[in-house]
Each structure stands twice: as C-alpha cells, then as structure tokens.
Chain A
Amino acid sequence: MDDPGVLLQIIFWGLYAGCIYILLATGLNLIFGVMKVVNFAHGEFLMLGAYITATIFFLSGINPYLIILLSMLALIGIGAIVERLCFRPILGTGKLNEIFLSIGLMYIIQNGAAMIWTDNWQSIRSPYDGITVPVGSLSVPLDYIIIMVVTAAILCGLYLFLKKTTIGMQMQAASQNRKGAMLVGVNVERIDVISFGLGCALAAAAGTLWVVSGQVFNPYMGSIPAVKAFAIIILGGLGSIPGAIIGGLLMGLAENGAAYFLGGIWKDAISFVILIIVLVLRPTGLFGEKGE
C-alpha cells in the first residue's frame, strides 16, 4: 500500500493473469453460448495445450510463441472428437449430467496425460526469459507484454471470425436461437463441433501462454483455472464475450491483489469468495441481463 510501485506491479501481474483467464473464459463462453453445455473439463484442454506446446518445444526448439498455432490446431481436433463422442450423445439431458460427464473426462484426460508425461511439475524457458522492458517506473518482463499482445490478437481474430465469416455468423445464429438457426438451414451439429473445437483451441492458447511465461505445469493444473473461468463467465454474464473479457481482467487483478495483501494461499479462494458475493447480491452476474 505504501509503495505505489508495488501496486502497479500487482496491477501488471493481474493483467497478465487476466489474459490467460480471458482466453479460457472466452472459449468456455463460446461453447456455452452455442451448445448450452457446461463443460467443467475445459481446464484439461488448457493443460493439454500446455503439454503439446512444451513437447514440441523440447523436440524442436522452435520459438514457443509460434508453436501456439500448432497447439491450437491440435486441440481443435481433440475438442471435436470429445464433442462427438461424449457431449453429443447426452446433449439436452440436463446440466448436471454434463457436469458429471465432465468429471469422467477430467479423470481420463488428467491421468492419461500423467501416463504420457508423468505427473512431475515441469517448466520451460522462454527465449525472452530475463529481458525486461521499462514501462513508466516499472520494468516489466518482455514475455508479459508479448502475452498481452498475443491475447489481444487472438481476440481480434475471433471477433473478425464471428462477424465476417459465414461459419462465424452461423455460430452467432445458433447461440441466439438454436431452433431458428436450424429452420434457416444452419447445420447446428456441425456448428457444435466447430464451436467446441474453437473453444478448446482458445484453451490451448491459454495453456501455451501459461507455460511460455515460465509457470510450472503438471497434468492436474487445469481443473481450478477451469472452474475460475466459469466463475468469470457467471460474473461477466453468461454468453457475453465482452463480459468474459472484463470479468477475466477483474479476476486476474483481484487474485494478485489478494495474494499480495492476504497471502499467497488466498489466490484460489478469493475468486470463489467474489463469486459467492456476486451471486448473492446479483444472481444474473455483473453484466448479465437475464438469468440462464
């Protein structure tokens, strides 16, 4: 508190953490918006993205920021398979069923990953590790700035995809009114696969940025960020992508603030404290219009 530099530092960390949450929450929102599916296993896709990036990096030594595209591509495929095999058969049988199925997916993906990559904590070094850039009175790691730029680029790309392409517009149509979209000839099942794949790709991007920034990762790292991402989309209003962005940034800031002022142990708990307070005061979320 006494040092404004520390406060700025916290804000900067918050923005960086917020970027990862934004990607995760946006992907989740995309899936929820189109399919109305509650996929609690979304964090497992983040974890897979992280491992795929790290593995390719270990094998080839390519700049990890470039591997992000490969990782996203791989997760589109994995996401499409998961959607087809697991979620489509139970679509419309109730939200709780979807949650229970996600638990099964979590067991499979987490421990499958542990069988391939062991359950040790790992980390990789970014090629820009140790380089800092002066921003005002702060010196900020270059990686954090690249992460923010990459996140912004991905979000802009997503925006253009949703607004300008036929598939993007079909996705919007399906999320606004599934039956209506079907009536005007949108192949809703195909749109489901695409949105699920795209959501997973965004999770892979989040996972890649997570490991590139030097954070440690293991097969079980995904579940808590995923539930936090759910907290974010509830805070931001279900199905609202601007809400997910603002919610993600707020969550990043709140977490890093709490870690500094209350102690690191509160980093995970604070997001749920905020969620419970918001749900009690405003059940539709901060920016939501009507409850889902």
Chain B
Amino acid sequence: MHISRDKISKYGVIATFTLALALPFFSDSMFILNLLVLMLIFIIFSSAWNLLAFSGQGSLGHAAFFGIGAYASTLIAAQSGVSPFITIFLGAAVAAFIGILIGLTCVRLKEWFLAMVTFGFAIIVQTLTVSVLAPVTGGWDGISSARLVSPSIPGYQLIEYYAILLITIGSIAAIWYIMKSKVGLAFLAIRENELEARAAGIDPVRYRLFAFALSAYLAGVAGALQIHHIGYLTPELYGVDNSFWPITYVILGGLGTLAGPVVGTVVLTIIWEGLKATGITFGRYVIIGVILILTIIFLPRGLVSLPEELQKLRERMWKKEPPEEVISGES
C-alpha cells in the first residue's frame, strides 16, 4: 500500500519521459506540437529561474537573459552562418556573461534589491536594443532569425521537437546534478543562513555568482531556442510577461524543487490554453493571479507537495483525538 517517495519520483520521471517521447505520435496536429515545443522551452526557462531561487536570489527580470540569449544567438548565426544548434550555446554564454555582471552589482545586497535591479535591467536592455543597438537589432521591428531545422526538411517539426526535448532533458539533468552536489548544498546553506554558511567556509559571493551565471545561461538557451523555433524576434521578448511567467510556473509547481518547474509549466499551460478556448481574455490573467496567490498562501511548497499535504489532511481527519499536549499538560 505504502509507496516510498523515492519510488514515486522514480516512476514519475520514467512516466514523464515516456509521455514526452510518445506524445507527438498521439497527435499530428501542428498546433499541439507547437504548444509542446513552447512548453519545453518554458520548462528550461522556469528551471533556470528556479535554480536562482534555489540559491536564495529572486529575479524579476529574467526576460533580459532570455532575450539576450535570443538576440546573441540570432546575430551570431546571421554573421557567421553557423548552425543555430551551435549558436544557441554561444548566445547563452553571452547571456551568462552579462548575468555575472548584473549579479556582481547585487551579490552583497538583500535578495529583494536584486529583484528590483533585474526588473530594471530588463527595461534597460530593451531600451538599448531599440535605441543604440537598433542598427544591428532592427529596433522595434525586430529581425528574422535562422530556423532551428529548415522547414524544407520533411518532418522538420518532429526533429525540432526531439532536439528541444533532448536539450530540456540535458538542462534538467545538469540542474539535478548541481542541486545534488556540494555546490547545491552550498546554495542551500547560503539561502538558509548566510552567516552560518560563511562560518562553514562557504564564500556566498562566489556561489551566488555561479548560480546567477548558470541561471542566465539556461535562460539564454531557452530564449535562443524559442526564437529559432519561431524564426523571428522582437524586443517584446524583454517584456514583463516573459519575466513573470517563469515565476508563476515555478511557484505553482513548487519553489526550489526539481519537478516544480516542470509540473507548474505543464499544469498552467493546460489551464491557460483551456481558458483561451473558452474565449476569456483578461479574465485568464485574473484567474492565474488568483491561483498564484492561493498557492502562496495555502500551498507554499507548490503542487509537488500536494500528495504529501493531502496525506497529512487525511491523517488529521481520521484521527480526531485531542492533541497529546493537552493531556500531558494536565499531569
């Protein structure tokens, strides 16, 4: 009857893998495939944001790195003619480099200062893109970018899907490895108590910067994948929406957990598309906002903790005995 949590997560991982591999065979609709691709991209993006949150830092402007990765990859591909499969990682490196610079301004400050600085940074980057850099970036009009897989190849969408799935799995595996390693422990120690971490010989500045660089890198990969998938990019990539989606996904799924971003992205995308089908426009955002707030207040560890919470609730319902403290207090 009782299944250990490890087993659940093992089965969960296997089931998710199989489903992700098999899904395109159930539906050959372009719409569904496109949706799945975007979902994978946002899983990478949310996981990147989540990694940063795992190290105790919150960013409100991750769209900046998403966008920088996209622009850098597009421009490198256009200038050099190298395949997008390579430029994705080069563009992401640019995002990581800029991420380190932004991280440097904030590593010694309180976590919510970073939230503000990153929010502002996304606006600064957008401004730069449409003003000083407009000759290269095309300004508000944007530029076209090389497709990941040329549409002239038959079944190019399927190839793209599996390629992006591979990159997604790789990214999550990398994050899993880091969270499990000593580095992940150091992140945790810094998040919980910086002073004690420092006393244990952990240099918070170095680890924070590392988390920032890695998070910006993966966000850059996600951004580059998205625009090479769509084939066109505009400065709207830097918009507040793109900064807030990963936060919403991660909080709903479960902050600081590996599965959280995946669960959150999938569940919220389904809800979002479902609401879209009913024709609600502004109401969709209101519903998302309500879900977000209810999650923060009533399910602070997100959907991944739901089975555990339900279990607790069931136990409480069955055992209606008075709490032990009352009895021992009288004796």
Contacts and interface: CB of A to CB of B under 8 A. Distances in A.
B120 A272 contact: yes
Interface stretch (A5-13, A167-175, A276-284): A276-284
A292 B110 contact: yes
Interface in B86-113: 105-106, 108-113
Interface string A16-49: 0000000000000000000000101000000000
B105 A279 contact: yes
B292 A96 contact: no
A182 interface: no
Contacts of B110: 95, 291-292
Interface of B is mostly: helix
Which secondary structure dominates where chain A touches chain B? helix
A263 B109 contact: no
Chain B interface bracket (under 10, 10 to 19, 20 to 34, 35 or more):
35 or more
Interface stretch (B9-17, B217-225, B266-274, B278-286): B278-286
Contacts of A234: 113, 116
Contact of A291 (B109, B244, B283, B296): B109
Interface stretch (B65-73, B124-132, B149-157, B181-189): B124-132
B292 A104 contact: yes
A244 interface: no
A108 B248 CA distance: 13
A185 to B, nearest CB: 29
Nearest to B296: A101
B289 A266 contact: no
Contact of A95 (B111, B283, B290): B111
B262 to A, nearest CB: 19
**Count class of interface residues, chain A:** 35 or more
A231 B288 contact: no
A193 B294 CA distance: 20
Contacts, number: 125
A130 interface: no
Contacts of B286: 107-108, 111-112, 115
A11 to B, nearest CB: 23
B115 interface: yes
A106 B289 contact: yes
Contact of A279 (B113, B124, B248, B290): B113
Contacts of A165: none
A96 B58 contact: yes
Contacts of A161: none
B117 interface: yes
A95 B110 CA distance: 9
A240 interface: no
Interface stretch (A68-76, A85-93, A136-144): A85-93
A29 to B, nearest CB: 15
B290 A268 contact: no
Contact of A231 (B60, B120, B126, B284): B120
Given A96-B53, A106-B244, A279-B117, 18 more contacts: A38-B112, A86-B293, A89-B297, A97-B300, A99-B58, A100-B247, A104-B289, A104-B291, A107-B244, A108-B289, A234-B116, A263-B131, A268-B123, A271-B120, A272-B117, A275-B117, A276-B105, A276-B121
20 contacts: A40-B60, A89-B297, A90-B296, A100-B251, A103-B244, A103-B292, A104-B288, A104-B292, A104-B293, A106-B244, A111-B283, A112-B282, A223-B240, A227-B119, A263-B131, A272-B119, A272-B120, A273-B120, A291-B109, A291-B110
Interface of B: 53, 58, 60, 105-106, 108-113, 115-117, 119-121, 123-124, 126-128, 130-131, 240, 244, 247-248, 251, 282-286, 288-293, 296-297, 300
The 5 closest A-B pairs by CB, nearest first: A272-B120, A107-B289, A104-B292, A108-B289, A269-B127
